[in-house]
Amino acid sequence: MTHTPVLSIILAAGKGTRMCSKLPKPMHRLAHRSILGHVLATVRKAGHKKIAVVIGPDMDHLAEEAHSHAANCIICVQANRLGTANAVLSAQNVLAEHTGDVFVLFADTPLLRPETLINASAMLNKGANLVVMGFETNNPKGYGRLVIDSQGNLAAIREHSEATLQEQTIRICNSGVMAFRCSNFIAMLNQIDNNNIKQEYYLTDIVEVAHRHKLSCSVLLCDEEELLGINDRVQLAVAESKFQNQARNAAMYSGATLIDPSTVWFAYDTTLGQDVIVEPNVFFGPGVNIADGTHIRANCYIEGTIIGSGSCIGPYARLRPGAKLGTDVNIGNFVEVKNTIIGDNVKANHLSYLGDGTIGSGANIGAGTIFCNYDGFNKHSTVIGEKSFIGSNTSLVAPIQIGSGAIIGSGSVITRSVPDNALAIERNRQVHKKIWANKFRTLISRKR
Ligand code: UD1
Ligand code: MG
């Protein structure tokens, strides 16, 4: 954690033209969280208490998104998109009141780690006035280049479009993430001009301004992957795949077995306990928490679900938001569970829809059981008592309660609540017509 108060300014006002999208670039999602959400989570984990997000004048949704991840963040509006230095100046009021370190981050670098921000703070503590987080790459096209002098100090940052052919050969690039400890930061920003091809105020020019003020500028060299900037959908897909690999490795290093890791898809917040086994082709949406020793068999789609230990899910199960499963639960093929609390040792092994319900521990849900929860207007709940037995192909028309230990005869359409330990059966009595089948066959063969 950093020791001086830190203000993080996140620039998110750019048009994101290269995304070719109606959605602002920072709203695009990576592992079910917006790119901006990832950046905000990183600065919060690094202990930055004050956060300002710079958005464009027509970006109310982005402001809402920012507040949903950091309720106290301050929204600053950049009236005209005149470049990254101008974007930072849009937070001038916040800057004027702030006395500690300042970090500037872009809302398009979602893989940045909090540890890197903490390392940059350590460099400020050791005497640097400006720290630029950079990376070395074999494909520097489009990035600003870090011009480093013979003493190893950062002399300038040259945007790709402004760089000489010689400077274009530099492979150390600017990530856009910078840390500042300088009392006259606002004055320095105001000294940046727009005498360049794009006629923009480039934040990167602050390095040369800092030199004029005799301030020391350093580079914190980081992993290329961590500082990947997303400007188009190809880079979004690259970032997604890198995030997924990191999540898969983290799950395996903490004790889960992924039989074919590249086919298991994580959300930003998926947690798997020790000795969880995940078979191929499993997709986790947000809000999934799986306890120790649970086995997720192939081809499951699981979101917003908590699963207790020792359970077995799938193959081909769909667990939707609000599913809360106890320990040693079995959910089998083609079973869909939504907003339903399932007690310990419950078995629902085949072909069922369990929505808006509560199932007591030890209950057995037969194949083809349907909770008829929706009447076209409202959702209603189904409550099943402990150790009850629901026969196959039963429709439970909610609202309804099945007592504990009750048995429901298969094929029933149950519309009234059933007492504890009762048998409920709702179907016509079976009729046998003796030797009718023989007569029928004889009749048919004569006609032929
Ligand atoms: C920028 C850097 C480049 C660096 C690269 C790393 C500058 C001038 N260039 O280039 O050195 O190598 O990032 O990914 O800083 N933004 C605003 N207002 C504006 C313009 C941009 O808020 O007027 C925001 C954008 O929303 C984005 C960030 O600033 O989050 C960077 O803008 P972008 O257009 O992506 O810059 P790059 O061309 O990637
Ligand atoms: Mg960019």
Task: Look up residue 346 and give its amino acid.
Answer: V
Residues surrounding ion ligand 2 at CB below 5 Å:
108, 229, 231
Q: Please provide the DSSP assignment of 365-396 as one string.
A: E-TT-EEE-B-SS-B--EEE-TT-EE-TT-EE
User: 93-143: per-residue pLDDT in tens?
Assistant: 999 999 999 999 999 999 999 999 999 999 999 999 999 999 999 999 999
User: 64-80: per-residue pLDDT in tens?
Assistant: 999 999 999 999 999 99
**Which tokens in the block code for residue 412?**
């029933």
Per-residue model confidence (pLDDT) at position 151: 84
Average pLDDT of the segment spanning 373-394: 98
pLDDT higher than threshold 50 for residue 426: yes
Pocket test for ligand 1, best of 106, 178, 226 (most atoms within 8 A of CB): 106
**Which tokens in the block code for residue 205?**
């020019």
Per-residue model confidence (pLDDT) at position 196: 95
Q: Which atom of ligand 1 is nearest to the CA of 82?
A: 23
Q: Which atom of ligand 1 is nearest to the CA of 54?
A: 22
CA of 246 to the centre of ligand 2 (A): 22
User: 53-64: per-residue pLDDT in tens?
Assistant: 999 998 999 999
**Which tokens in the block code for residue 447?**
């006609």
- CB of 204 within 8 A of CB of 162? no
CA of 105 to the centre of ligand 2 (A): 11
Known catalytic residue at 350: yes
User: 319-361: per-residue pLDDT in tens?
Assistant: 999 999 999 999 999 999 999 999 999 999 999 999 999 999 9
Ligand 1: residue whose CA is nearest its atom 6: 175
User: Cβ-count burial of 53 within 10 angstroms (0-12 exposed, 13-18 middle, 19+ buried)?
Assistant: buried
Q: Which atom of ligand 1 is nearest to the CA of 15?
A: 26
> Which residues line ligand 1 at a C-beta cut-off of 6 Å?
11-14, 54, 78, 81-84, 86-87, 106-108, 143-144, 157, 159, 173-176, 202-204, 229, 231
Per-residue model confidence (pLDDT) at position 215: 95
- CB of 360 within 8 A of CB of 345? no
Catalytic residue (one of 67, 98, 350, 380): 350
The dihedral formed by the CA atoms of 258, 263, 267 and 269, expressed in degrees to the nearest 10: 10
Ligand 1: residue whose CA is nearest its atom 10: 143
pTM above 0.85, yes or no: yes
- CB of 25 within 8 A of CB of 35? yes
**Which tokens in the block code for residue 369?**
């059981």
Ligand 1: residue whose CA is nearest its atom 21: 14
- CB of 83 within 8 A of CB of 13? no
Sign, CA dihedral 250-251-257-258, equals negative
Among the bound ligands, the one closest to the CA of 163 = 1
Among the bound ligands, the one closest to the CA of 35 = 1
Among the bound ligands, the one closest to the CA of 175 = 1
Average pLDDT of the segment spanning 144-162: 93
Query: Which positions ≥6 away from 46 have C-beta within 8 Å?
Result: 1, 2, 6, 114, 117, 118, 121
User: 2-12: per-residue pLDDT in tens?
Assistant: 456 899 999 99
Residue with tokens 């059966």: 425
Q: Which among 268, 326, 333 is positioned nearest to 296, based on CA atoms?
A: 333
Ligand 1: residue whose CA is nearest its atom 13: 176
Per-residue model confidence (pLDDT) at position 1: 45
CA distance 121 to 432: 85
| Structural domains of the chain, ranges and CATH numbers in brackets | 6-221 (3.90.550.10), 250-424 (2.160.10.10)
